[in-house]
Amino acid sequence: MPLLSLIIFAPIAITLVGAIFSPPKQMRLVALVSMLVGLALTLFAACTQFDWSGNHTAIVQVYGDSAQSSFQLRESIQWLSDFKISYIVGADNLSMLMVILTAVLGVFGVLCSWKAIDRREKEFYIYLLLLQTGIMGTFLALDMFLFYMFWELMLIPLYFMIGIWGSANRLYATMKFVLYTLVGSVLMLIAIIWMYFNNGATVDGVDTLTRTYSYEVMLATQQGSAAATFHHALWPFLALFLAFAIKVPLFPLHTWLPDAHTEAPTAGSVILAGVLLKTGGYGIIRFCLPLFPEAAVSFAPAITWLAVIAIIYGAWTAIVQTDIKRLVAYSSVSHMGFVILGIFSMNPQGMAGAVLQMINHGISTSGLFLAIGMLYERAHTREMSKFGGLAHTMPVYAALMLVMVLSSVGLPGLNGFLGEFTVLLGSMHNVPMLLDAQNPVSFAAYMNMTHYTWLVAGLATTGVIFGAVYLLILYQKTFFGKPAGAHDDHSHDAHHGDSHGHGGSYPDLSIREWGQLAVLGVAALFIGLYPKPVWKAIAPATRDALAPVATTLDKRIAELPNPGVKLASIQSETRLAAK
């Protein structure tokens, strides 16, 4: 059974067929069924068909090129044979985790639009399901070209969702979102074409090239030889990294995110924050590190600094926001900075923490956006000053929101703590930076900063503290104090249709609403209290992603001119990584 293809295409197929027959008002039901089918298929695949041990290997053939592959549930069809492009999907632990996250959040994407979307329903749900298809495909595609197609496919539906169902400034936001993302992705296309023509190894000055778009073949070719052609390539790495960094988004490239989040309908925000940003992190772990280890190690210190800036900058900017959604959007910049920080620590803790942080961010930030969406449906405003004392009128909402806020803050016992803590732990032994400090011509060596990974970790830790500041400010202003409407003379907002002039008196959550938050809350609590199964699932992903980098790091360490004091510790770190 082509299980993964079903996971990708069955939901959209059901929705398209359903759209022909169902009346517009019932479209949400069709979409819900489609998403549930997708979720059921995903869970079936993950629980019964998938080997989580990470020991699966097989020899695969793509257009006559064979390679050792650790991907399971593979499906391979020759598609555009003129171009040696094929339709290959497959999953390993990393992609399976992401697929599960996507499938779960997809259901919530429909549920949170249940009442919020009251015009052009058919279109909306078709776009939502199309978006789901794009994301699933991005996580599962094993052909670079196919990956690119799915990557672009994610763009179009969200473009329409923000542009049609968004808030006041939606046209600006949606255009900005598309153009930003497009710049990165088109350069990625050129990089992919370059990789097609240059995949191979240089032996005795002669290039032996295997032209392929298959990720598995590329990986095998590039890992098989120390003289692999990608090792000298800097700009294809940068082109790929740019595409992913825009999606993550990393610090100087993040400005589309607050606009897109603020203007998007709730479902758009949930999917955007929950899974779309993860495609960036996923891409870096999947493609940038294993295929271009040399370039990755070389650029790692710079990227790490950008991540630190993102963490602190995102947090500081979030503190001064008055728009709730904007605040959470900037918190995303900060939290996703941790992901980059973890990945480019290039040690097992950092990498595992980064993957967990992606999952955690998916849970807690989508939870926050869901909760904000519920509030917005009632108040039709996102201004923090318009709210107050909600804890009295909406106790259930307040309680569930608290779980989400604390999970996002990183309270021990909830999921957020684990991810951030592990990433920080990893960043203290940021291997490329330690190497950099040993390099006599580096800035770090010049400043005699042998301990500057501690500086990085310390600065990043302040991000956690500031995170607590802005999230608790958010919670305090909206949920405690006096109801804003009680003494506010200026609450003549034209949209206050159902608030009856009282900023604080909204009906509490319905079952549909608190159900969503409860599921996410339970997930947060579960990961926070019993993370073992998640760690076990992440471990093989960490190992696979770090193996090529570890080889490069070992080589670099061996080349060091004067092994310093920290060398022993670096080496132990890389050995850990290589395991």
The residues that touch another protein, with contacts defined as CB under 8 A, are 80-83, 133-134, 137, 148-150, 152-153, 155-156, 159-160, 163-164, 170-171, 174-175, 178-179, 182-183, 186-187, 189-190, 193-194, 196-197
CB of 157 to another protein, least distance (A): 9
Closest CA to 111 of 198, 36, 209: 36
Q: Residue 96 or 141: which CB sits closer to another protein?
A: 141
Residue 333's H or E segment, with its range, is helix 324-343
- Alpha-carbon dihedral of residues 536, 542, 543, 549, nearest 10 degrees? -170
Nearest approach, Cβ of 34 to another protein (angstroms)? 17
CB of 371 to another protein, least distance (A): 27
Nearer to another protein, 22 or 499 (CB): 22
Q: How far apart are CA 566 and CA 307, in angstroms?
A: 24
Backbone phi, psi, residue 387, to 5°: -110, 170
Q: Which helix (H) or strand (E) holds 65?
A: strand 65-69
- Rounded to a whole number of angstroms, the minimum distance from the CB of residue 185 to another protein is 8
The Cα 266–Cα 269 span in angstroms is: 5
First to last CA, the chain: 34
Q: Name, in order, each residue with C-beta under 8 angstroms of 69's C-beta and a sequence gap of 6 or more.
A: 57, 58, 59, 60, 90, 216, 220
Shortest reach from residue 120's CB to another protein, in Å:
9
If the CB atoms of residues 191 and 390 are measured against another protein, the closer one turns out to be: 191
Nearer to another protein (CB atom), residue 197 or residue 446: 197
Return phi, psi of residue 541, to 5°: -60, -45
Nearest approach in angstroms of CB 103 to another protein is 19
State the DSSP H helix or E strand holding residue 253, giving kind and residue range, or none if neither: none
User: In angstroms, what is the minimal distance from the CB of 190 to another protein?
Assistant: 6
Nearest to another protein of 267, 520 (CB atom)? 267
Smallest gap, in angstroms, from Cβ of residue 239 to another protein?
9
Nearer to another protein among residue 6 and residue 351 (C-beta): 6
What does the radius of gyration of the chain's CA atoms come to, in whole angstroms? 24
Q: Which is nearer to another protein, 181 or 345 (CB)?
A: 181
Residue 133 or 214 having the CB closest to another protein? 133
Residue 201 CA, distance from chain mean position: 32
Chain Cα centroid distance, residue 561: 39
CB 318 within 8 A of CB 330: yes
**Is 441 strand, coil or helix?**
coil
Q: How far is CA 291 from the centre of its chain?
A: 20
